[in-house]
Amino acid sequence: MGKNKLLYPSLTLLLLLLLPTDASVSGKPQYMVLVPSLLHTETPEKGCLLLSHLNETVTVSASLESVRENRSLFTDVVAEKDLFHCVSFTLPRSPTSQEVLTSLYEEAVKEDNTIHWTRPQKPRLLTEDIYQPRAPSAEVEMTAYVILAHVTAQPAPNPEDLKRATSIVKWISKQQNCQGGFSSTQDTVVALHALSRYGAATFTSARKAAQVTIQSSGTFSTKFQVENSNRLLLQQVSLPEVPGEYSMSVTGEGCVYLQTSLKYNILPKKDEFPFALEVQTLPQTCDGPKAHTSFQISLSVSYIGSRPASNMAIVDVKMVSGFIPLKPTVKMLERSNVSRTEVSNNHVLIYLDKVTNETLTLTFTVLQDIPVRDLKPAIVKVYDYYETDEFAVAEYSAPCSKDIGNA
């Protein structure tokens, strides 16, 4: 089965099913044979079946199963002792990369001269921000893969590929944070890979430097010089007044990426959390001789959002000042629902495969490392790794945090 020359190979399963004619009544065994085959699209193929020394009447069915279709080739009742049967078939042509891209662009979101992709069931944002919120990790990652499809086109990307990739890069760049990353490790790796391949495909050496001037409505003014010798160097300046009005102008040649970053804290609305999170200490009050130096943190978490379950989620438990986690008790959390744990600085990170509406309880022990007086509450946060807008926060206090004898 197959040809010597591979043109458009397709991995397909040839499925053979042998049933005794009275199998449904007598409970006789049924046999299934899977034959992985490398076949060729738009090329005549032939599959043959040889059965020998049959001692009963059987029904033989043969079908093809692939990612594109499931097709029945033949079904026959065999009463003879021996059977040799061949059937010819042709697989349809696989879609080209251009056809796949055309299909993708039918689902694209096109706005403000940018292009990106969203999921069919996008979770509702928790807040309406004055500033445009960054896209979820999953959308950054899927959009970055389309950039890679354009800039890695064979034998080389054409002008239309680069033109479309530029519109996508504009959107991706808006999602980048002030440290150069994105929402998660995974989307950061894929997005930076796509941006670097795009940069390699479109790079031209500028003959003249580019000069960026930033001015305020008052007396503030600063200039950045971007040329071939420092084009990969990050240059930054703090703006003296926020809020304030600033203008930017660019002269010269080349491509300059200019980004502003504003950080602020807000109090989230607890009734809108898509996770239910409760934190307790054991003991809850300052009872017993060991309550000053050791206690347990018990977490109860479940998902109450718009989906049946979350993606991979992370529980980030910050330690109360002066306390450290007992690592063996953290390690013991690694079971069916917990993929791994980490102890990083004064945080315990618990990685969950997913969170459903069934409450998951996690408990570990912390010990006093340094006596600290007037302890403040610590924060616990659970969030969806791929949908960082889906999160919940809670706080807890050490049992003896208000006790004057803590330090």
pLDDT tens digit sequence for 176-185: 988 889 988 8
Hey, what CATH class is 270-406 in?
mainly beta
Q: Give the separation between CA 362 and CA 297, rounded to whole angstroms.
A: 8
- The 3-class SS string of 291-313 reads CCCEEEEEEEEEECCCCCCCCCE
What's the whole-number mean pLDDT along residues 106-121?
88
pLDDT digits (tens, 9 = 90+) for 19-40: 555 545 455 566 667 666 677 7
pLDDT at 192 exceeding the cut of 90? yes
What six digits make up the tokens of 300?
């109860």
Min mean pLDDT across 51-65, 150-164, 280-294 is at 51-65
Q: Residue 2 has what pLDDT?
A: 40
Of residues 292, 314, 302, the one with CA closest to residue 380: 314
- The interaxial angle of helices 185-202 and 159-174, nearest 10 deg, is 140
Average pLDDT, the chain: 83
Whole-angstrom distance, CA of residue 284 vs CA of residue 296: 9
Q: CA–CA separation, 90 vs 43, rounded Å?
A: 6
Neighbour-count burial of 192, counting CB atoms closer than 10 A to its CB (0-12 exposed, 13-18 middle, 19+ buried): middle
What is the model's pLDDT at position 94? Answer: 66
Place of tokens 């001037």: 213
pTM: 0.63
Looking at residue 1, its pLDDT comes to: 42
Is pLDDT of 163 > 50? yes
Residue type, 110: K
Cis bond upstream, residue 283 (ω within 30): yes
Grade residue 3 by pLDDT with cuts at 50, 70 and 90.
very low
Tell me: pLDDT of 258 over 70.
yes
| R_g of the chain, CA atoms, integer Å | 31
pLDDT reading at 167 higher than 70: yes
Determine which of 10-14, 154-158, 333-337 has the lowest per-residue pLDDT on average: 10-14
Q: What is the pLDDT of residues 373-387, one digit of tens each?
A: 888 999 999 999 888
According to the model, what pLDDT value does residue 180 have?
87
The SS3 call for residue 192 is helix
Q: How confident is the model at residue 140 (pLDDT cuts 50, 70, 90)?
A: very high
